[in-house]
Amino acid sequence: MKTKSSTATAAPVAPAAELKRINLAGIATAAPAAKAAKTYPELPDPDGQVAALVEGILEMSDQLEAIEGALNISKGELIAIAKPFYFAHHAGQMAVASSVEAKAGDKLVRVGFSNSYRGTSDDAAILRVTGEKGAAFFKQSFELKIKGDLIPESAAEEIIGELQALFARHNAGAALSAKAVFKPTKEFHTAHHRNNFEFLQLSAFQFQLFLPVVPVAASVKTKLGRGGSAED
C-alpha cells in the first residue's frame, strides 16, 4: 500500500535589510605625506628671557594637561550616569528636554544630549540592532572636498559652472557651498627671505606691516618626539 509523502513548504525568507551605500571608490583619497627629519635654528637668549618663558610654558602646559585630563574623566563619568536616566525618563514622551540637571547643594551643572549623533561606517552593526526598521532612520552621509589649488586656473570657472549646472539639474543646488580666501602661494614663504623682500618691493619695515594682512601661522609645541621633533 502506497502512502503519499507530504512535503512541507518552507516559509519565504525575507531579504536581509541593508542601508543604501553610495560608491565613492572613484574619488581619490589623499595619501599622508612622509615626514622628513628637520633641523631648526635656535632662538638667541642673551638675557635669559626665552629660557624663563620656556620653563613657564612647559610647567603650565603640564598643569593644564593634568587638569584637563581629570576634568574630562569626571565629565565622562557624569555622562555615563546621566545617559540611561535621560533616555528612560523621556521614553514615550513627545516633548524631550535637551539636558538633565545634576546638583550638589545649590551648585548645579547640566548634562546635555543634543539631537546630534556620531556617524559610523559599520552599517551592519546598525542593522544587527535595529533590523529592517533601521533603514527608515539612517542614511549615508558624505562630503566631497575639491582642492581648488590643484585645478588649472584657466579651467576653474568652467568647472565651477558645470558643477552648479549639474547639481541644479538634480535639484541639489543647496548641497553646494563655497568659501574663498586670498592666500600666498607656496613659493611666498621662502621667496621673501631669499630675495630680502625685493620681489614685493617692500622694505623690512613695510613687510612687518604687511604680515597682519595675511598672518603667518605660528604655534608653540610642547610635546616633542625623539630627536626634538614636534608631535603634531
Number of other CB atoms surrounding residue 86 within 10 Å: 19
* Amino acid 209: pLDDT: 74
Does the pTM of the predicted model rise above 0.75? no
Contact in structure between 222 and 213 (CB atoms under 8 Å): no
- CA–CA separation, 122 vs 106, rounded Å? 44
Residue among 180, 188, 176 at smallest CA distance from 149: 180
**How many angstroms separate the Cα of 145 from the Cα of each of 33, 120, 194?**
18, 19, 34
Q: Is the pLDDT reported for residue 36 higher than 80? A: no
- Condensed to tens digits (0 to 9), the pLDDT of residues 171-219 reads 998 998 888 777 777 777 777 666 666 666 767 777 677 677 777 777 7
Cell reading at 156: 576653474
- Condensed to tens digits (0 to 9), the pLDDT of residues 115-159 reads 777 888 888 888 887 887 777 888 888 888 888 888 888 888 899
- Condensed to tens digits (0 to 9), the pLDDT of residues 42-93 reads 999 999 999 999 999 999 999 999 999 999 999 999 999 999 999 899 888 8
- CA–CA separation, 131 vs 138, rounded Å? 12
Report the run of H or E that residue 110 belongs to, with start and end: strand 107-112
- CA–CA separation, 156 vs 167, rounded Å? 17
